[in-house]
């Protein structure tokens, strides 16, 4: 299958159907991201207020370059400590578009976007030890595996361990002050 060339852009109203699907259709997020049915329309309300960019979690659509086909989303949020210094990120690519490079590319684009537009020093993600696709995608995006946390994710009836992956500003060349 041909690799996908993707870019990030704000959500439009017609893209919101993807979040409704996420809330009501397990097939979109199984096996790792399905946490049960949630209210459809939740993101629609937020989008009407701030385009999903005014408060944490922030969201951008992942779309194909050229065709502008919606293939998923990335999100990021502040964590309690250290607050504005670090972003935790997440990603979902629709099942029919997986395995074509979009997940890795989207997370790399998000890292570059966050280091370019915010003063954060660190971007990180936690993913279940069984989620090999996300581990490979994070590694391909430049993240380093930093450790294993026990019992962080509850899914399909039991608690599961996760790996933490991180990337810091110094890992990205060209992010140093000019001079």
Ligand X SMILES: CC(C)(COP(=O)(O)OP(=O)(O)OC[C@H]1O[C@@H](n2cnc3c(N)ncnc32)[C@H](O)[C@@H]1OP(=O)(O)O)[C@@H](O)C(=O)NCCC(=O)NCCS
Residues that bind ligand X (CB under 6 A): 29, 32-33, 90-93, 98-104, 127, 131-134, 136-137, 140
Peptide bond into 44 cis (omega under 30): no
* Closest distance to ligand X from the beta carbon of 17 (Å): 17
- Give the nearer residue to ligand X in terms of CB position, either 101 or 115: 101
* Closest distance to ligand X from the beta carbon of 177 (Å): 31
Distance in Å from the first CA to the final CA of the chain:
44
- Give the nearer residue to ligand X in terms of CB position, either 26 or 99: 99
* Closest distance to ligand X from the beta carbon of 83 (Å): 22
- Give the nearer residue to ligand X in terms of CB position, either 150 or 176: 150
Q: How far apart are CA 115 and CA 118, in angstroms?
A: 6
- Give the nearer residue to ligand X in terms of CB position, either 50 or 95: 95
Q: How far apart are CA 31 and CA 110, in angstroms?
A: 24
- Residue number closest to ligand X, CB atom: 103
* Closest distance to ligand X from the beta carbon of 105 (Å): 6
> Which H or E run contains 49?
helix 42-50
Q: How many residues does the chain have?
A: 179
> Which H or E run contains 147?
strand 144-155
């Amino acid at each position: 299958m041909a690799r996908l060339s993707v870019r990030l852009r704000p959500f439009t109203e017609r893209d919101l159907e993807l979040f409704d699907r996420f809330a009501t259709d397990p097939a979109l997020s199984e096996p790792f991201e399905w946490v049960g049915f949630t209210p459809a329309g939740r993101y629609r309300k937020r989008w009407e207020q701030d385009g999903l960019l005014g408060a944490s979690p922030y969201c951008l659509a992942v779309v194909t370059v050229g065709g502008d086909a919606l293939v998923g989303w990335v999100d990021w949020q502040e964590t309690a400590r250290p607050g504005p210094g670090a972003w935790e990120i997440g990603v979902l690519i629709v099942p029919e578009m997986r395995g074509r490079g979009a997940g890795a590319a989207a997370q790399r684009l998000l890292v570059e976007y966050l280091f370019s537009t915010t003063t954060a020093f660190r971007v990180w993600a936690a993913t279940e030890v069984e989620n090999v696709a996300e581990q490979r995608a994070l590694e391909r995006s430049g993240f380093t595996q930093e450790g294993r946390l026990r019992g962080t994710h509850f899914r399909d009836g039991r608690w599961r361990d996760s790996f933490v992956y991180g990337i810091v500003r110094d890992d990205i060349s060209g992010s140093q002050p000019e001079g």
